[in-house]
Amino acid sequence: MKFLQAHNVLKDFSSDRKQRLKLVMSGQPENLCLFIRAEYALRNVDCQIETIPFNTLHQYLLTPQEPEVHECFLLFPWDFLPSLDWRSGVRENAVVAEEAVQQAQQIQSLMHTREAQFFYVQAPVLPLATSTTENQRIQQYLLGLALQLYAEVLPENFFSLNTYLNFGVPFASSQCGEMAEVMCRRLLTPEPQPRKLLITDLDNVMWQGVIGEDGIDGIKDQPEGAGYPHFIYQSLLRKLKNQGVLLAAVSKNDSDLAIAPFKRPGSILHEEDFVIVLASYETKSAQIQALVDQLNLGLDACVFVDDNPVEIAAVVQALPAVTCVTFPARVDELVQVVKELEALFSTTALTDEDRQRTGLYRTRLAGMVPVASTEVNLESFLRDLGMVLQITDRTLQQQERALQLINKTNQFNLNGRRYTEEEFQQVLAGGGRLFTASLKDKHGDHGEIIACLIDGDEHILSLVMSCRVMQRKVEQAFLGWLATHVLQREFLLLHHVRTERNTPLQQFLTAEQSAFADGVARISREAFAQRQQPLMSLFTLVVQE
Amino acid sequence: MTESMLESLQDIFRFVLQLPDETDLYSVRQDNTPKWDSMAQVSLVAGIEGEFDVQLELAEAMQITSFESCVKLLEQKLT
């Protein structure tokens, strides 16, 4: 905002919402007042500003604070240490840093007693000590004192030596508008409430790897190599838990698998550090909603961390009040994530109750089971993803990825059977066919994520799908297309074996009304194809012969 | 100085010195305007600096003793 604009905002402005503000600073504040009043007026508040006479800040600190007056201190380094003031010139003799520090502390302790908001301009200062290092140390120390007052730090370029020396106004005229805007934003925005509950994904967040695929010995969360970022993340969560933050995990996994890593002797976090570990294949937004209801917390008290942008987007859409943080794919980005989480859970006071909170809530949640995902409508979310499903007939070529998928996938796996190259080729030589599907969406390319091996009698011998794309109805679209364009029998015949890990596949077969006999799940082909018709519109289908 | 800049300068003087709209600004001088005290001088300088993105050194600020002198100063600064 510029000078005339500020005047025009205030011209004829009136409001019933009034606020008394005491702007306390050692320099001349007049022009800043104009801009602050204009910023308040833009927010429909009639701000009546009082100021103190030039260079009387220290005297003012000795007077009692008036009730019902909002105090706002705009501080400069010389307000802590007067000998740094440009208007006094450089001191004849150098000062010992310790003496300077002591003096600054005394002044700061007077400020500490005020119920006020503080702003600190990190203005350049005159040299006090004999060495550059000592002078820098003094400046850093003063910054530390300001931060102890929870001051918002304003940049050096808000200071103008010219206007300060000539008129006693320590800020540049050209910066007044921006300065007032920054100050009003802080003055008129209520302090954000620290979040209370951190809900975290497990695979590729708490550890590197997928526990359901890589097994407990294959995941990495130790302070070395690929495990390092996850080790740091776990140690951050341990600290947050110790300062009263509730931890919960929500993972698309089997329950025993999800908990297993926390039972290892060397694990940083243990099962009892979480209020609950929810492992299910239902949508995470439904799990989060149910958890928050059980804990009697608001959704705005929650932070959700996941590495998968699709999961993040789904939660953002279903539960916009939840703060979502993406666990970074690049190690360097972890710095920002740690900062963000630290700020979201920042707290100044820590009580014994805070430290014991997890135990109390664990009791409350004992026996909670994962909920079904019917509470959250996925369809609009899926439609918004712009999914492109490419189905490829691989009977004659490029079968390596398909064989690899079949031999490593555990969760969405029809029967857990592994094939050698030779066995694989035998099936194909006997009139069998191999189809794969790859998926792209607005978040990127997921690559080849489905493989399906069919023998010459149209028996589906193998059907696997990567756990990365569960909950997107990809398997239904893929099989729906097969049922319509490839398979001819009255029934889909799937060679099914229940394994320890293929719960998602079992859920799929049950939902599709399969009849089980002699190791084969039978589903009426036409009825199945019809059921899948509506969801085909979620995809752009590309078929490559 | 453009017409709109001149208008802006007139507005700054009217706001700071609380002059009625009909005042002939070319007749306004520090010695005939009671509201033009040292604080008003600071406000004028801040308004001019902020509005026109210029910085006035002390000697330049002190040259502003009338509306007319201010116009001349700004014309020099902005060319």
- Give me the CATH number covering residue A309: 3.40.50.1000
Query: What average pLDDT does range A420-434 have in this prediction?
Result: 93
With a cut of 60, say whether residue A327 has pLDDT above it. Answer: yes
Determine contact: A400 vs chain B, CB below 8 A. Answer: no
Query: What average pLDDT does range A511-520 have in this prediction?
Result: 90
φ, ψ of residue A406 in degrees (nearest 5): -60, -35
User: Which chain B residues are Cβ-neighbours of A162 within 8 angstroms?
Assistant: 55, 57-58
Same domain, A183 and A201: no
**Which is higher by pLDDT, A362 or A426?**
A426
State the pLDDT at residue A67.
85
Most A CBs within 10 Å: which of B9, B14, B15, as the mutation test of the A interface?
B15
State the pLDDT at residue A445.
80
State the pLDDT at residue A375.
41
Q: How many domains does chain A have?
A: 3
State the pLDDT at residue A121.
96
Binary contact (A4, B8; C-beta < 8 A):
yes
State the pLDDT at residue A367.
57
Binary contact (A169, B57; C-beta < 8 A):
no
Determine contact: A169 vs chain B, CB below 8 A. Answer: yes
Q: Give me the amino acid identity at A78.
A: W
Give tens-digit pLDDT for A203-239: 999 999 999 888 899 999 999 999 999 999 999 999 9
User: Which chain A residues are Cβ-neighbours of B48 within 8 angstroms?
Assistant: 173
| Burial (CB count <10 Å: 0-12, 13-18, 19+), residue A445 | exposed
Same domain, A422 and A489: yes
Query: What average pLDDT does range B3-11 have in this prediction?
Result: 93
Binary contact (B47, A165; C-beta < 8 A):
no
DSSP structure string for A14-35: --S-EEEEEEE-SS--HHHHHH
Same domain, A167 and A256: no
On average, the pLDDT of chain A sits at 89
Give tens-digit pLDDT for A102-117: 899 999 999 999 999 9
Residues A101, A82: Cα–Cα separation, whole Å: 12
φ, ψ of residue A488 in degrees (nearest 5): -120, -20
Percent of chain A with pLDDT over 90: 61
Binary contact (A2, B49; C-beta < 8 A):
no
User: Which chain B residues are Cβ-neighbours of A177 within 8 angstroms?
Assistant: 50
Residue burial B57-78, b: 16+ Cβ < 10 Å; e: rest: eeebbeebebbeebbebbeeee
Q: How many domains does chain B have?
A: 1
Residues A358, A202: Cα–Cα separation, whole Å: 19
| Residue of B12, B49, B61 lying closest to A4 (CB–CB) | B12
The two tokens of residue A301 are 């008290």
- 3-class secondary-structure state, position A522: strand
Among A377, A393, A417, where does a domain finish? Answer: A377
Most A CBs within 10 Å: which of B11, B42, B44, as the mutation test of the A interface?
B42
Same domain, A364 and A403: no
The two tokens of residue A46 are 């009639």
Same domain, A292 and A202: yes
- Give me the CATH number covering residue B29: 1.10.1200.10
User: Which chain A residues are Cβ-neighbours of B35 within 8 angstroms?
Assistant: none
Binary contact (B12, A3; C-beta < 8 A):
yes
DSSP structure string for A286-311: HHHHHHHHHHT--GGGEEEEES-HHH
State the pLDDT at residue A507.
87
Give tens-digit pLDDT for A270-298: 999 999 998 887 788 888 998 888 887 88
Query: What average pLDDT does range A151-158 have in this prediction?
Result: 93
Give the bridge partners for A49, in sequence order.
A21
The two tokens of residue A495 are 């060679």
Query: Where does A56-198 have alpha helices with state H?
Result: 57-61, 77-80, 97-112, 132-148, 161-167, 176-188
With a cut of 70, say whether residue A377 has pLDDT above it. Answer: no
Same domain, A373 and A481: no
Same domain, A71 and A122: yes
Among A188, A212, A238, where does a domain finish? Answer: A188
Same domain, A283 and A263: yes
Determine contact: B7 vs chain A, CB below 8 A. Answer: no
Percent of chain A with pLDDT over 70: 95
Query: What average pLDDT does range A322-340 have in this prediction?
Result: 94
Query: What average pLDDT does range A38-63 have in this prediction?
Result: 93
Binary contact (B11, A162; C-beta < 8 A):
no
Residues A225, A482: Cα–Cα separation, whole Å: 43
pLDDT band at A371; cut points 50, 70, 90: low
Domain around A335: 197-377
| This prediction's pTM | 0.61
Query: What average pLDDT does range B29-41 have in this prediction?
Result: 91
- Give me the CATH number covering residue A496: 3.40.630.30
With a cut of 80, say whether residue A368 has pLDDT above it. Answer: no
Among A153, A188, A223, where does a domain finish? Answer: A188
Domain around B45: 3-78
Give the bridge partners for A250, in sequence order.
A278
Binary contact (B42, A162; C-beta < 8 A):
no
User: How near does any CA of chain A get to the CA of B22, in Å?
Assistant: 17
The two tokens of residue A351 are 């009580």
Same domain, A256 and A367: yes
User: Which chain A residues are Cβ-neighbours of B17 within 8 angstroms?
Assistant: none
Binary contact (A28, B42; C-beta < 8 A):
yes
Same domain, A235 and A358: yes
Determine contact: B21 vs chain A, CB below 8 A. Answer: no
Residues A534, A51: Cα–Cα separation, whole Å: 68
Same domain, A168 and A229: no
Most A CBs within 10 Å: which of B4, B17, B43, as the mutation test of the A interface?
B43
- Give me the CATH number covering residue A76: 3.40.50.1110
With a cut of 90, say whether residue A193 has pLDDT above it. Answer: no
Q: Please report where in the chains the tokens 């290092």 appear, as a residue.
A: A133
- Enclosing H/E stretch for A492: strand A491-495
Same domain, A401 and A473: yes
Binary contact (B50, A165; C-beta < 8 A):
no
| Residue of A3, A28, A165 lying closest to B50 (CB–CB) | A3
With a cut of 60, say whether residue A373 has pLDDT above it. Answer: no
Query: What average pLDDT does range A21-46 have in this prediction?
Result: 93
Residues A70, A19: Cα–Cα separation, whole Å: 8
The two tokens of residue B25 are 């600004």
State the pLDDT at residue A372.
59
Q: Helices (H) and strands (E) in chain B — how many of each?
A: 4, 0
